Amino acid sequence: MREFDAIFIGAGQAGPFLAARMASEGFKVALLERKYLGGTCVNAGCMPTKALVASARAAHVARRAADYGVLVTGPIGIDMRVVRGRADKVTLDARQGLQTGFDGLPDMTVIFGQGRFEDARTVAVNGERLTAPRIFINVGARPVIPDYPGLADVPYLTSTSIIHLDVVPRHLVVIGGSYIGLEFAQMYRRFGAEVTVIERGDRLASREDEDVSEAIAEILCAEGIAVHTAAGGLSFTKAGDEIEVTTDSGSYTASHVLVATGRRPNTDDLGLEAAGIGVDQKGFIQVDDQLSTNVEGIWALGDCNGHGAFTHTSYNDFEIVAANLLDGGDRKLSDRSLGYALYIDPPLGRVGMTERQARETGRPILVSKRPMSKVGRAVEKGETRGFMKLVADAETQQILGAAFLGVEGDEAIHGIIDAMNAKTPYPALQWAVPIHPTVSEFIPTLIGDLKPAS
C-alpha cells in the first residue's frame, strides 16, 4: 500500500492543476490517468477542434476574397493531411507542456493506468493499491452512442475520431443538431464536403431561445448545409462503401456519418459503489455547493459532476476547491455565472438565462435586441449575420443573461459575464465609454434599448 496526501483520478482541466498546486505546497500527491494528460480539451475537444475551425475559416475567407477586392486565381484547395497535422501538433504541444510541468514537481507522481476504488480511501491501479485521506475524481465524459437500428453495423465517427480524418468526406451526415455537431458540420462544409444535419428535435441548439436557433439555422443553410429537424425513425444500412441513413421523411447516402448526440460521464468503471459514492440516473457524480461528494474526503470535478461540460467550468471547479481547501475560502458552485460559446462562424457567446428561462421565473423582465447589421464592426468586416440580445430584471436591475450571435460574439460577451459576476446593476454600464469600432461598444446601446417583455 502506497500512501499519499491526495489521489487524483483523471487528468482533465481541473484535477491536474489542483494536484500541481498541492504538490508545490508540499503535499504528496498521485495523479492517475488512463490515457492522455489534458483530458477532452487538449486531446479531443477545444484545442484540436478550434485548430480545425481556424483552418476551415481560412478556406472560407479565401473563397470570399473577391468580396474584399482581393483576387485569388484558381480554386481553393484543401490538404487535409496538413490540416490534421496542424491540429495534432497543437494537441501534442499542449500535452507535452503538461508533462514537462508535472515532471518538475518532486512531490507529484504521475501514473498512467485505470484507477478504481476498492473503498473510500483506497484506489487500485496497475496491480498496486494507493491510499489517501483526500481523493479527487476528474474523469471527464465521452460521446453517447444511441441504439439506432443498424448503427452498430456501419462505420461511424464520433467527435473523438473525426478529428483524425485526413480526407474530405464526399457527404458527411451529422446526427445531432447541438453544439458539437454544428461546429463539425460547418467546418467540413468549408473544407468542401456536402453536409446534412439530422436533428430529432424541432430545432437546432434547443437549449437556446427560438430566435437564436432560427438564426443559427439560417447561418448554416446560407453556406449550403442541409438541415432536417423533427427527424424520427432513424436507421442505418451499409450500402457498399457508403452508408444509407433513413428517417421517416427521407433517406441520405453518406460517405461518412458523425454521431453527435451528447456525452456521458466516464464513471461506470471506477468502482464508485465500493466507495459508496452517489451518482444520478445519468451517471453524473452528485456533489454539493463545494463540489464534495456524499462521501467525506472525496470530491468530483469537471464534466463528470454534471455542472458544466466546458474547460472553463472544469478549471473553475479547481479554483473553488483550491480556495476552500487551501486558502480558507468559502467559494460556492452556485455563485458561478455560466457562460459558454458555440463555435460556428459567426460564433454564439452566451451567459446566464435565456429569455425563455427568464420569462418562466415570473419576474418582470426587460429585453433588448439589436441585429448585427446595425453594428459598425460587423458591417466593416462584411459579416453581418446574427444579433445581440440582453435580458434583465426590471426590479433588481441585474442582468439575467445575454446571447451575442455574431462576429466576435464569443469575445464581446465577456463584458456581460464580468458585469454579472460583479453583480453590477445594468444602468452602471449604460454610461461606459467603450472603444469604437468594436462589437462590445453596443453593450450600452443594448442597455438603453431595454424594454418590458411583451
Distance CA 136, CA 16 (A): 10
Please give the grid coordinates belonging to residue 276. Answer: 459508496
- Identity of the residue numbered 85: G
The string of DSSP codes covering 282-300 is TSPBP--TTSB-SSTTEEE
Contact of 319 with 327, CB cutoff 8 Å? no
Rounded alpha-carbon distances, angstroms, from residue 104 to 24, 32, 99, 151, 272: 10, 17, 9, 46, 32
Distance CA 225, CA 211 (A): 19
Which of 60, 256, 414, 436 is catalytic? The answer is: 436
Dihedral sign, CA of 307, 310, 311, 312? negative
Contact of 170 with 195, CB cutoff 8 Å? no
Q: Residue 126: how many CA atoms within 13 Å on its side-chain side? A: 9
* Pairing outcome for strands 108-112 and 29-33: parallel
Q: Residue 423: how many CA atoms within 13 Å on its side-chain side? A: 3
Distance of CA 224 to the CA centre of its chain: 25
Q: What are phi and psi of 333, to 5 degrees?
A: -60, -35
Rounded alpha-carbon distances, angstroms, from residue 82 to 77, 85, 89, 225, 305: 12, 5, 10, 24, 37
Contact of 227 with 199, CB cutoff 8 Å? yes
* Annotation says 164 is catalytic: no
* Pairing outcome for strands 134-137 and 128-131: unpaired
Contact of 356 with 211, CB cutoff 8 Å? no
Please give the grid coordinates belonging to residue 219. Answer: 447561418
Residues assigned a catalytic role: 436
